[in-house]
Structure formats: structure tokens, C-alpha cells
Structure 1
């Protein structure tokens, strides 16, 4: 609900660029400051921008964030969120600090914190995304969440050995950075698509494909930094309506591409499916003690 709940987990990105990593940030009114004088204004919506440059053109727009919220609210990915929350609940910290890298509007982070709360464990979270529109939405979380604008492909503005649990759900990921910010024995939960994920929709509309060998490459790069613990596959066929399918396409990378078929005269796609395949792998990885 407030950056003040998680500021102790954050690090000054300007100091890190000058080879002074893990310089802390502290709240000072509506600003976060480091001891060396670097200051970052907290937006009136409650998030802070630690990106240090212009927002990239492929960051999610407000329209994309709204489409994502509508799609996730449809229940189509509830099984994915449930698997993620169940895996998170198996981690050991009593009051875990959770980092969601590529958090979008914070939906998955909220589900994880809600499950922990159900078990009497008060967690707190950092929702990190390169999109200011996503961060604005994540800052409205009812849980103890601080929303940060930052690039998942760069050094994360998070202190080393700071978080108990790191999430990466359909998002860019750097296993070396996840290992750095996790406490010894901490856990990373990584959700990525299997080859059959949305297969019929992708084929019908010419959407971006799942790269061949994606799971093998992910496992190889992660195993250089973290220990594999478990793999949990979630496979479901979900009934959807036309509006939900349109939101699914509009919320992600396909919004920046125009490979899918043109709408018919009714304003939708003539062959909009009424079911989609959900097929993802949840990888559980552990930082060695």
C-alpha cells in the first residue's frame, strides 16, 4: 500500500551505475533519497521511477494495462495464479519480502500476498515494471506493496540479499540478478509458456510464437546461478468470450505487432475461439545457502 513499507529493500540506481552498489534509499517526505544526495520523487499515485532514462517505447500503455486487468479478472489464468500462490506458501519466511519482476498491474503479487495472509504470514512486496501505467496500478494494491518503475533487463534497484521470494511471470528475467537480490536459501518462482500455450489462437491469428527450446534454454541459464527445486506444469482448457480474447491479444507483446487477422465487419475476428489452451511451467529455483 506504500513505498515506505519496502523502501529498505531498494537501492539507489545512480550509485549502482557509479559502482557503489546497494546504497540505501530512505523516505524523505514525498522523495526517496540516498546518503550521497540522489533523490527520486514519489508520484502522487504512489509509485517511484528509478529507471533513470526515458521510458522505452515498448512499455505497456494505459490501454494495455487496462486490457490485462480485464483479462486477468476473467479468471482465465486463475489456475496459474493459484499454482504460484501455493508454491509461494511453501517457502519458509514468516514475514517474507517478495519481489515481482515485470509485475504489470501487480495481480500475481497480490494473489501471493493474499495466500500468505490467509496463512497468518504478513508479507510485503515490490512490484517492479518498466511501465509507469502498470506501476500506477500496482501502487493501488490493498497489500503492503511498493511500485517501482525500472527495467528488468538492467541491474535491479534492489539491495543484494534482500528478498525472500522473487516472482517472474511471463516477464523478462535475469537469473544472475534474481540470485543477487535473494537471501541465501531464497526462492525464485518463474512462470513461462509451454509450446502448446495458446496454440490454436496463435495459429488462427498469426500471433507471436513460443520460441522452440525455450524451456531448455531457461533451465540452462538459471542453473548457472540457482538450484532447481521443482517443476509444476499447469495445463487447462479455458472457455472464453470474444472480448476476453481481444483483451488477451491487446495486453501483451502482440499489441505491438499486427500479424493477426483483420477484424470482420462486426468489429471482432470472424474466427475468434471460444476456448484457449493454458499451458505453462512454474519453475521453482533456490539460491544456495
Structure 2
């Protein structure tokens, strides 16, 4: 970790010592034994996804069901990346997507930061890949100095438009990945009696002053077990919305072919 970080208390730059970071006002933050840095103030112990949800995500992603999705995102990242760029993954979870890009596309030439409000997820990520700077922090108050980041990635995660705008360099890029309306439609048909899709905001309206290129991408993959189907459900917002009978319906399936359908928005400032 380097001079890109700022203190969450006073907004002054952070400098790394032996096993801690300190600003000129002597606010100090210790590195955890796993190697991540916690910059979240007044955090609740239950902030972010639960341990059960994080473990379900790690298990599901390790099966390779979303590898094609990850490869598509990595293709876009590789086209906009230059040597010595800084890349921040906002809402990184247990680090699957950022780690795959770091290992397979740009192993040494970037400054990588994975950020999540969940200490559990960041701890998992740090144990798995010590070559990335992992941070526990709030997406609504990003711990980076102004205009210091070249690429911002958001994979199915919440984000703050003003904060991304603030930290992004003048020639930087934003990559927003979200579910398209028919994403996991087969799963939704099982767990819901009816499906009601809400209209999604356009990225052009969300980020004024940016031009956007949108990539609609989809493929089908077969989920191989009931356990993996339940892990997939735990990864999605649907887990919090469905009734108990929806879960019981899903348990009747020992496999299911599902549609993976995503929208990838690549944004750059209009000069």
C-alpha cells in the first residue's frame, strides 16, 4: 500500500510504517495479521454479508460457474489498463474477480486495491491472495486521495457516484457490472410465484459528464448440485426477498441450467 490512501478521520494522506499506517495528525491504523487494513470507522460487527453468505460465495465461485463472466470483465479491464495503473474493486467480497485479473492478466504492473465493508470477506481475500492491498472501508467514503485512481471496478456492488468521481483520475475509467433483467431467470422462476422486474437507471444519467459503452453479455451454465444452487441463492439479493417455500422449491432440484446475463458499462470522462 502506498501514498494513494487517506485517513478516514481527517482526510490527510496515510504513510506506511512497519505494521501500521499513520497520518500527520497521528491517526494510526494497524495492519491485521492477515495483511489487510481496516479503515472503517464505527463499524458494526455485522457489517456486510454474513459468514454463511461469504462462504457460500467462495464455494460457488470456486466451481467455475462464473469464470466466463470474469473472463469477459477481465477482457475489458485489459483493454483500458496501462503499466503502473491503480485499480480499485469496490465491493470486492472475498476477492474472486480482482484476484483473477491480478493473477492472469496484469500480475505485477498495477497497484491493486480490493475494498469491502465486510471484514469477513476482506479477511478471506487477504488469506487467499497477499499480493493485493485489501481494505475494510465504506464505499460512501472511499479512503483514497483525490484523482489518484486510474480504474474503478464495481461488480454487482453498491457505489457512490460522487466518491468515484472524486477519486478517479482525469484519464481514468469506470467499469460497472450489474445483472441484466433475465439474469438467473430460471432460478427466479423457481423461487418466486411471480417475477416483477424493476427498471434500472441508465449509467449515462447516473454518471453525468461521462461517456459510456455498454456490453450486453450472456451465456448458459449448468449448476451441478442442490448445494451449489443454494450457494448461488445466498449470493443474490433474492435470498432476502423470497418466502420459505421458495427455498423449499429450490431444494427439489439437483441441477439446473441457468442464464448468466450481465450489463458491463465502460465509462470515461467527456473532455
TM exceeding 0.5:
yes
Q: Structure 2, unaligned stretches of length 5 or more?
A: none
- Contact kept, 8 Å, 1:201 with 1:207, in 2: the verdict is no
Give the SS at the match of 2:188.
helix
User: 2:6 matched to 1:11?
Assistant: yes
Which residue does 1:282 correspond to in 2?
264
**TM-score normalised by the chain length of structure 1:** 0.85
State the match for 1:220 in structure 2. Answer: 205
Select which of 176, 193, 197 maps to 1:190: 176
CA deviation map 1:14-42 (0-9, x unaligned): 113xxxxxx21111222211111111121
Aligned to 2:158: 172
Task: List alignment gaps of at least 5 residues for structure 1.
Answer: 1-5, 17-22
Q: Which aligned pairs between 1:94-109 and structure 2 lie closer than 5 A?
A: 94-109=83-98
TM-superposed CA distance for 1:180, in Å, is 1.6
- Which whole-Å CA distance do the structure 2 matches of 1:135 and 1:286 have between them? 28
Distance 1:192 1:184 in 2: 24
2: distance between equivalents of 1:208 and 1:167? Answer: 32
2:34 to 36, 45, 48: 45
- Residues paired across the two proteins, number: 270
Q: Structure 1 221/208 Cα, relative in aligned 2: closer, same or farther at 3 Å? A: farther
Q: Please, what TM-score do these two structures have when normalized by structure 2?
A: 0.90
Q: 1:115 to 1:63 in 2, by over 3 A?
A: same
Whether the 8 Å contact between 1:194 and 1:279 is mirrored in structure 2 is yes
Offset at 1:176? 2.3
Q: Does the alignment pair 1:206 with 2:192?
A: yes
Tell me, in whole angstroms, the C-alpha distance in 1 between the residues paired with 2:29 and 2:83: 31
CA–CA distance in 1 between the matches of 2:109 and 2:130?
A: 9
Contact 1:208 1:254 in 2 (8 A): no
Q: CA RMSD in A?
A: 2.4
Q: Is the Cα–Cα contact under 8 Å of residues 100 and 127 in structure 1 kept in the other structure?
A: yes
